[in-house]
Chains A and B, each alone.
Chain A
Amino acid sequence: MRRLSLLALVAVAGALLWAADWPTESGSPQREGWARAEKAFTKENVKGLELLYKYKAANQAVGADALTTPMIVGRIITYLGFKEMLVFGGSADNVFSVDDDLNRLIWKRHFDSAGGKTAESAVCPGGLTAPIAMAGSSTAIGRGRFTPGRAGGNRSGEFYAVSSDGYLHVLNTSTGADRMPPMKFLPANAKVSGLNVDNNVVYAATLDQCGGNANALYAIDLSAASATVASFPAHGGGFAGVAGSAIGADGTVYTAVGDPASDTVFALAAKTLEVKDHFAAAGKPDVDSPGVTPVVFPWKGRDVIVAGGRDGHVYLLDSKSLGGADHHTPLAQTSYATNGGFRGAFSTWEDADGGTRRVYASSGNFVAGMKVEEVSGQPALTQVWKSKDMIAPAPVVTANGLVFVLATGEARRANNRAILYALDAATGAELYSSGPATATWAHNSGIAIANNRIYFTTHDNLVYCFGFFAQQPQLTGK
């Protein structure tokens, strides 16, 4: 029994008290894909990574979709006690909360979605498609009492889920029950990429015009007396990547829209989604590529945005002026073009030793490691390494000098399984491979990392958890 006011006092003895979160796709509203607090995995020990457990979720796959990328609440005080929760959606309109220390279900929520049904297709399978999200970043601390939203502070005690009928559900973290009546947010049967949450606003992008709905980015303000929905239409284009949007330090929402003619990165105002600025890539896009969601990182007092064009180039954009006066001039761009461009989402972190800003991106069959260097006072991007061939790697996650990659195996899914890799973040050298640990492939599952464990999901409705048994006394009984 502790007084929470004492936590700071006790925390001086170490970092364990402060549990890390993985609250959303790519770990933060900026989509950094960086597990900042993670120290358990090192270049020396990661080769000994172990499969700690598998959790089988009672869910039915819908098309290629099964379970979403998990999110992690590192420490939450529920009426059942202190919990670390793994929360993920299931395509059959389910949400699961699992005690990830013990591999034990805490609650399951099913949405009896009232929306109409579209005919399933490979592109538009229907069902719940967006990972569950909550406010915060990967360094958030544990939380006790639930708080309503207020200026400068996010609501707490709630998760956000979009059911297949397009309603936003605000779920009680302890029980999965609705904390407020579900709100109409998106069109029914839309295909939704990663939700984003910032300052009591939930953002969602729809893809592939599923359900006959035009693609748009939506925002719903939960702090308003009556929740209001704003939208930004893609005008026939599509939103790039799996994470939908990235949010800057000032709340600006960055999103990439691709259409047959070009790729454009937009800076949108928080809540209203009014256009503030844009950058249009000059190259001809590969229209078959799903593109990549931008990522935001701080650089000398301002935000820098990394965007990947389907023209194969990676661009660095200045948040103060995305494309310069002509909206076509980035801060920097890679000199080479990757065939088809990158996809999914980026990952970026700052090397603690050297202060080097590194960026990683996944293509259809490899992962690239880049670094940002200062050239004439401006950031420039160079590719440092390229991984070995992997089948459809999901967005990577960096942690403590390592890059974790889930090669989903999706491209040739009939015969493949998902494989977890750990690479040296500086060199790309392979340090670990899960080999045949999984039984099948994965779709739309990224990696989540927090508190000495690594998670991902596969198409057979399994959640895989990797770590070291030696660090899990609750699993070993020792």
Chain B
Amino acid sequence: MRNLHYSLTLAALACGLACGADWLTDGGNPQRTAWQKDEHILNPGNVKNLQILWKLQLDNKSNQMHALFPPLIVEHLRTAAGVKQVALVAGVSDNLFGVDVETGTVLWKKHFDYPTPKNIRPGNDDPLCPEGITATPVVGPENAAGQRPVYALAGDGQLHTVNMADGEELAQPVQFLGSYAKAYALNLWNNVIFTTTSQGCHGNRNQMWAIRLDDPTHKVMTAFPKSGGLWGRTGAAIDSSGTAWAPTGDGQYDKETQTYGNGLIGARVDGDELKIEDYYIPSNWTWLEKRDLDFQVTPAIFNYKGRELMTTASKECRVYLLDTKNAGGDDHQTPLDRTPIICNEEVNFASAGIWGAMDSWEDARGTRWVITPFWGPVHSKFKVPVSYGPVLHGALVAYKVEDKSGKPGLTPVWMSRDMNQAETPLVANGIVFGFGSGENTVQAYADIGLDDSSKRRIAASTHATLYALDAETGKELYSSGDQIPSWNHFQSLTVANGRVYISTYDNVLYCFGLKER
């Protein structure tokens, strides 16, 4: 292990400032692996010295449980004040912020104004349907003018193209979705923007959406799986063929009527249409449907021994391994591997199971890893070689991808310490950054049954905690303890250039790093 750290340190020194890191989309890349390959400053040896470098109170108003979205980072951004490392942060109340990460100050703020949509719901207290921006924007490649466009979806469903350097509009907004559709993180592939929507918020359909940036007609393309909602935290993940994969949430499966609830659909742009090309439906989808155990985790797509695989999960608390070329085999219901249940013994729809998105990375020896977060207590029958339990509120579990009986499979390696509602981790330079959101996720109560109220949940939420773990062993290397006083909801981390970013419900953006750097 020491030799590995030494090698990494040498590599970092050799790389120097020229090898900077960006983080241009939620999940780090179109494949949503949440793997920061270009981090060279933080390492397992120094991460214990992590401190809050700055925290920034942003002028944004929380809506329901939502507040800020994960920062997107461009290391070398040309601005009027010179080249800067800039974070783009979206806020649910239709705000974008450009933040100078060196100083932790706001460079610019952009607010999207639009007439109040007719479908607004007075007194809305529904955590499922906030009003405003809900999708993490995406940063596009530099344009001919040397500008970095940011594509952001305002609450009224208009897609904006904004200059990351100053927040100015670079193009006329185009109507992409209906208002307050609850879109998930935008993805960008071959000049096409993808997103997904869920929960039928404000009368919008639950489906995958795509729009060509170079289409002068701005035709909106959709793929409709007739399910309860495509609410994978980071939207769709895109494979090497351009197929966008998204989980479909609750719902039923009926091949005859192209109804693909409780599964994963793969849709690809064909001409000016978005067509469902493939899908996977777990064999026990009726059980998932019955107990509200949605298949709702954005997959992570990666290469393994010349094949392109993806991993996903559901609230039932199993992890799946699929081949992007033939998800689920001929019957669409046969995964390469499906783990035993690792949590949610109680079969709870609200506060247990796997939520959000997956993580995958490859170590220096070429071993492919998959890491899943989960909420709630670990299953009493789950066996893992290394555990830092007891786990009562959530944790991370790391698997190695290995050949089993002639096909790729998942082998559990370690389970982390307890994390209060563990969220999607991020791997960078041999470190797993994870966090417990501290969010109260209860939706039903003993006294009155279902009562999914934002007010009630906000009052009962606690605080987020950031952790750094050794990626190979799961050993805790750092904890922020109670330094972060607030919690967050449906969040992801961002890591770039020695800085770790996390935001909270009180609209504070935290930047952790090494003071000596």
Contact = CB atoms under 8 A, between A and B. Distances in A.
A4 B199 CA distance: 9
Given A1-B199, A2-B249, A473-B284, A81 B350 contact: yes
A79 B347 CA distance: 11
Given A13-B251, A14-B254, A81-B292, A2 B229 contact: yes
Interface stretch (B1-9, B103-111, B439-447): B439-447
A102 B287 CA distance: 11
Nearest to B294: A1
A383 interface: no
A13 B254 contact: yes
Secondary structure of the B contact surface, majority rule: loop
Contacts of A172: 446-447
Contact of B448 (A14, A17, A102, A157): A157
A82 B290 contact: yes
Contacts of B443: 1, 77
A76 B126 CA distance: 20
A16 B448 CA distance: 25
A10 B229 CA distance: 10
Contacts of A6: 199-200, 206, 228-229
B252 A473 contact: no
B254 A82 contact: no
Interface string B344-373: 001111101000000000000000000000
A2 B262 CA distance: 11
B75 interface: no
B261 A79 contact: no
A145 interface: yes
A146 B448 contact: yes
A5 B254 contact: no
A153 interface: no
Nearest to B126: A3
Contacts of A143: 449
B231 interface: yes
A3 B447 CA distance: 20
B22 to A, nearest CB: 32
A246 to B, nearest CB: 29
A9 interface: yes
Interface in A134-183: 143-146, 156-157, 172-175, 177
Contacts of B254: 13-14
A474 B317 CA distance: 13
Given A6-B199, A82-B291, A14 B449 contact: no
A16 B289 CA distance: 9
B250 A10 contact: yes
A245 B257 CA distance: 45
B199 A3 contact: yes
A75 B449 CA distance: 12
Given A5-B200, A13-B251, A78 B284 contact: no
Interface in B251-299: 251-252, 254, 257, 259, 261, 283-284, 286-287, 289-292, 294, 296
B450 interface: yes
Most A CB within 10 A of own CB, among B128, B200, B227, B446? B446
Interface in B106-144: 126, 128-129
B107 to A, nearest CB: 37
B442 A79 contact: yes
Interface in B73-110: none
A153 to B, nearest CB: 15
A13 B259 contact: yes
B290 A3 contact: no
Contact count band on B = 35 or more
A84 interface: yes
Contacts of B228: 1-3, 6, 10
B328 to A, nearest CB: 15
Contacts of B199: 1-3, 6
A1 B250 contact: yes
Nearest to A474: B287
B449 A174 contact: yes
B449 A102 contact: no
B139 to A, nearest CB: 29
Contact of B446 (A10, A78, A145): A78
Contact of B444 (A79, A156, A471, A474): A79
B452 to A, nearest CB: 9
Interface in A69-116: 75-82, 84, 99, 101-102
A478 interface: yes
B361 to A, nearest CB: 28
B446 A175 contact: yes
Interface in A362-410: none
Given A10-B251, A16-B252, A78-B446, A1 B128 contact: yes
Contact of B346 (A80, A145, A175): A80
B226 interface: yes
A143 B294 CA distance: 19
Interface in A187-224: none
B451 interface: yes
A80 B249 contact: no
A144 B350 CA distance: 13
Contacts of B252: 10, 13-14, 16-17
A173 B448 CA distance: 10
Contacts of B231: 1
A19 interface: yes
Contact of B347 (A5, A13, A81): A81
Given A77-B449, A143-B449, A145-B448, A2 B290 contact: no
B331 to A, nearest CB: 13
Contacts of A19: 290
Contacts of A102: 347
Contact of A79 (B200, B201, B251, B445): B445
B446 A79 contact: yes
A81 B286 contact: no
Nearest to A174: B446
Interface in B197-239: 199-201, 206, 226-229, 231
A471 B286 CA distance: 9
B289 A4 contact: no
Contact of A77 (B128, B201, B286, B444): B444
B448 A2 contact: no
A172 B448 CA distance: 9
Contacts of A3: 126, 128-129, 199-201, 228-229
B200 A145 contact: no
Given A16-B290, A77-B450, 12 more contacts: A1-B228, A3-B129, A6-B199, A13-B226, A77-B444, A81-B349, A81-B352, A81-B444, A173-B449, A175-B446, A473-B283, A474-B284
8 contacts: A2-B229, A6-B229, A14-B252, A80-B347, A143-B449, A145-B449, A172-B447, A473-B287
6 closest residue pairs by CB, A with B: A144-B450, A473-B284, A81-B348, A13-B252, A146-B449, A2-B250
